[in-house]
Structure 1
Amino acid sequence: MSIQSILDIGKSGITAQRLALEVTSENITNVNTPGYSRQTTIFQTSFVTEERGFPLGTGVNVAEIQRAYDDFLQTQLKTEASTTGWSSTVLASMKRAEQLFNEFTADGLGKSMQEFFAAWQDLTANPQGQPERQAVLARAQQVVDQFHRINGYLTDIKREANQSLEGITSDVNESLTRIASLNDQIKLIEIRGARANELRDQRDLLVRQLSEKVGITYLEQTDGTLNVSLSLGPPLVLGNKAAELSLEPDAANNGYYKIFATSPGDNTAVDISSIVGGPNNSQGRMGGTLQVRDSLVNGFLSDLDELASSLATEVNSLHSAGFGLNSSTGLDFFTAPTVTSGYSGIGGIQLAISKTADIAAASVDPVTGGTGNNLNSRAIASVYDKVLATSGGNMTMEAFYNALVGKVGVAVQDAQRSSDLSEGIIKQLDTLRESQSGVSLDEELANLIKYQKAYEGAAKLVNVGTEMLDTILGLIR
């Protein structure tokens, strides 16, 4: 082996250890960077030569800067992020809805209905009494106001959910554009044989953040790019091209948004609302938002409308057959429901009478049948305990309202359970990822010392070769 070989071996050692020190420094400085994966310098011996029949190495090379990465773990994180986005969105809305449906002992719709029919019961004791009649009107107005309040609040939840789609869609579009841009950069770097580790980390983090907003699948291509698609839907990213999501008001659905996607590199917009927010595949914040807006809240409103319609229909049928103090008859107590849908809102249920004399407490005209007749008020008071045919089966109004309260509670419990479970899994997966891909400062500091000493050794080897060369040159002089 020549002196030049010694110098070359020392040079390769200095170059390799310097690169290892740079990689270690990169790890240390990114210890708190979200999504960063630890990098490791992989060494390999240079080609082997034969010197006087003996195989001798020619130094060391850096074979690869390896990224600590587990694709299966990334897929699990992506899946759970979608579940977390869905459950947190649904849970927030359902908790707001839950506040509206108090138990009968609280100041809610259930309590108001109880007091309304109790006022009719009080009227039976004194059918001519003005205070009792005024109480009936007052309690009836409270019931109407409660229906309007709950209907309006549920409608507000739908409206706010619909409006939140604007921000979610904008975030999705931004993530898609950035993923497509990173695909292009990664391809340009890796086509030369290098590894774009930091860019891959950024892309993985974006994919995880995107999956929290909408359900997706992805597949890495041979050139290093990542193709992203909606779960059970069209592609969102193909190479360096990204789809664009847009919103359009749907006149058939009260002007609420429909979601469209323009395929990557194409101008054709496809309605993906049913794909993103379908009953069996709702994922991410966008899917949860659509489920709240188009399914869960609509179910509560439908039951609320049915309850209001049943209340008005049953009371009206009896009230219109009775007689008021002024011999009035044939009067509805509430505005008659023409359709059930929307009847619990301001444009639906209202008081149809305003005079206490029009309250039909008697079953016959008081002028001919006596002023003490209370048969009609007794019949109306008993409506509360009457078993009615409802969409949920034969039950009383109290039982129907209890069932509605139960539905809201179950929706909250389901979303809470899913949220807690998903958050627990996310924590476990994050811990596992940290153990596999995270940066350990203790380990990196130890590597720093190791590579520093190796660098010093390689430099010493160069010094030795230089001294040997100086000695030989001295002999010539």
Structure 2
Amino acid sequence: MVSSFHGLELGKRGLSVGQASISTTGQNIANVNTKGYSRQQVNSSASPSLDVWTSQGANTGQLGTGVNLDSITRVRDRFLDQQSRDHSETLGQWQAKQTTLDRLETIVNEPSESGLNNAMDGLKNAWQDLANEPDSLSAQAVVKERAQGFIEVAQSMNKSMDNLNSELVQQSQQTVEEANAYLKQIADLNKSIVRDGNQSNDLKDKRDALVEELSTLMSIKLDEKSNGSYSISLSSNNQSLVNGEEVSEIDYKTGAGENEIYGGKLAGLSESMAIAKNYQTDLNNVVADFASANSMSAAGGKDQALFIGNAAEFKLSELKVNYAADPLKQPAVTEKTSEAAQSDFRKLVSQLGAQSQAAVNSVSNHGAALQATENRRQSVTGVSLDEEMANLIKYQHSYNAAARLVSMTDQMLDTIINRMAAR
């Protein structure tokens, strides 16, 4: 026989689940604008039934006992999460390269009236004026001043590229430190989540936010264990980074291109260093060829070349104008003419422009892909106020119905206990 208080138990369980559902909906509404928050939902199931006697005999009927509150979980899509991490890694890599190429375009500063090409044209024109008046002291002085202007522009560009390389090294080191800090925080959150029994939704949201930040810096693979902790490794070589509470920090590598193994922003910075060094080498070659075409000697002095510099081991920072040369003479025609050096510089500028535009397009494309993935992910894990308000009304009716069941059962018990006893 079923207990007379069975209805109270049914109502109590309904009230409990209804209250938890309403509270969870309120939590979702309160965090609708919280970055990294994942929508939560109440998971319930029918509680085990009771066997009852029926007219057909024993064990032929079952009576429901209500509802059980199983868990309160986050709504996530692992596939979309992985897609988002992949797009973030690629976008971070291209953003680092685009920033470097933008800096190089600013340094090269072409086309411009104050650029290197204009300085080379100025020296070429000064030579033509001197050819028309070989004995003119003012024409010789103009040649030397135009040569000095060319050196100043070239050395300024070279120094800016040196500074850019130093900044890229510092930025890479800082990015490695930032990545290691994320790894430590993820391991600490793993520990807390395992300790709390794998039901810490807020801690999991914080951990996922850190993983997303980490995926911008490097390419990672993620595996969630049965106890709720994350295992993270490098995509390139499966090197373990986080395994539960254990952390394996990454090291900054000073060799050219060695940080590319990490992927993400670190790989972009590593590639940026190689790009900057290549353009600096090309710039030095252009300046060396132009100086040689306009006569360069390591000795200097009277009746010597316009420029003082070592052609065999050329260093742009040591290039000087030979002010002692008197009189100046037109440079001899060689295979490396001024026009050839200028042509090489124009090729450098064109190549830089093409690379920069390609980087801009790549950042735009990968940014759009990431945004599209994020929109799909938000449709799953994000909070929709319309949906939550509809749920709130549904759970309110459910709670009211359970409360009505309790009230009705109370009235029945009052009739049985008080009124029947009075008779």
Q: TM-score of the superposition, structure 2-length normalised? A: 0.90
- Give 2:320's match in structure 1, choosing from 324, 333, 350: 350
* Pairing of 1:222-237 with structure 2 (within 5 A): 222-233=226-237, 234-237=239-242
- Pairing 1:174–2:118 present: no
- Give 1:214's match in structure 2, choosing from 203, 218, 241: 218
**Cα displacement (A) at 1:337:** 2.7
- Pairing 1:333–2:338 present: no
Which residue is 1:411 aligned to?
Answer: 355
1:64 alignment partner, SS class: strand
1:52 alignment partner, SS class: strand
1:439 alignment partner, SS class: coil
Q: Which amino acid aligns with 2:89?
A: S
Change over 3 Å in CA distance of 1:87–1:104 after alignment to 2:
closer
Which residue is 2:57 aligned to?
Answer: none
1:415 alignment partner, SS class: helix
Asked if 2 retains the 8 angstrom alpha-carbon contact of 1:82 and 1:283, the reply is yes
Change over 3 Å in CA distance of 1:102–1:410 after alignment to 2:
same
- The gaps in structure 1 that reach 5 residues or longer are 248-257, 260-270, 362-375, 386-395
1:83 alignment partner, SS class: helix
- Pairing 1:310–2:255 present: no
Counterpart Cα distance in 2 of 1:331 and 1:181? 68
Counterpart Cα distance in 2 of 1:48 and 1:104? 83
Two-structure CA RMSD over aligned residues (Å): 2.6
2:223 alignment partner, SS class: strand
- Pairing 1:43–2:26 present: no
Q: Which amino acid aligns with 1:35?
A: G
Counterpart Cα distance in 2 of 1:302 and 1:274? 17
User: C-alpha offsets along residues 36-95 of structure 1, whole Å, 9 cap, x if unaligned?
Assistant: 221222222111123332322011112332422111111111111112212222212211
Which residue is 1:424 aligned to?
Answer: 368
Change over 3 Å in CA distance of 1:6–1:275 after alignment to 2:
farther
- Give 2:244's match in structure 1, choosing from 225, 231, 239: 239
- Pairing 1:451–2:379 present: no
Structure 1 stretch 129-138 or stretch 51-60: which is displaced more?
Answer: 51-60
**Cα displacement (A) at 1:445:** 1.4
Counterpart Cα distance in 2 of 1:65 and 1:146? 66
Q: Which amino acid aligns with 1:198?
A: D
**Cα displacement (A) at 1:416:** 0.8
Asked if 2 retains the 8 angstrom alpha-carbon contact of 1:38 and 1:437, the reply is yes
User: C-alpha offsets along residues 205-264 of structure 1, whole Å, 9 cap, x if unaligned?
Assistant: 2111001112222222233221112232422111111223455xxxxxxxxxx36xxxxx
Give 4+ residue runs of structure 1 displaced > 6 Å after superposition: none
- Pairing 1:203–2:207 present: yes
Asked if 2 retains the 8 angstrom alpha-carbon contact of 1:121 and 1:378, the reply is no
Counterpart Cα distance in 1 of 2:250 and 2:353? 34
Structure 1 stretch 51-60 or stretch 76-85: which is displaced more?
Answer: 51-60
Asked if 2 retains the 8 angstrom alpha-carbon contact of 1:130 and 1:356, the reply is no
**Cα displacement (A) at 1:332:** 6.1
- Pairing 1:24–2:30 present: no
Q: TM-score of the superposition, structure 1-length normalised? A: 0.80
Q: Which amino acid aligns with 2:395?
A: Y
Which residue is 1:255 aligned to?
Answer: none
Which residue is 2:259 aligned to?
Answer: 276
Structure 1 stretch 144-153 or stretch 195-204: which is displaced more?
Answer: 195-204
**Cα displacement (A) at 1:282:** 6.4
Counterpart Cα distance in 1 of 2:133 and 2:327? 15
User: C-alpha offsets along residues 160-207 of structure 1, whole Å, 9 cap, x if unaligned?
Assistant: 1122234323321221111101111222333xxx53333222222211
Structure 1 stretch 133-142 or stretch 92-101: which is displaced more?
Answer: 92-101
Counterpart Cα distance in 1 of 2:205 and 2:407? 40
**Cα displacement (A) at 1:143:** 0.9
Q: Aligned pairs, how many?
A: 413
Counterpart Cα distance in 1 of 2:246 and 2:295? 63
Asked if 1 retains the 8 angstrom alpha-carbon contact of 2:18 and 2:398, the reply is yes
1:50 alignment partner, SS class: strand
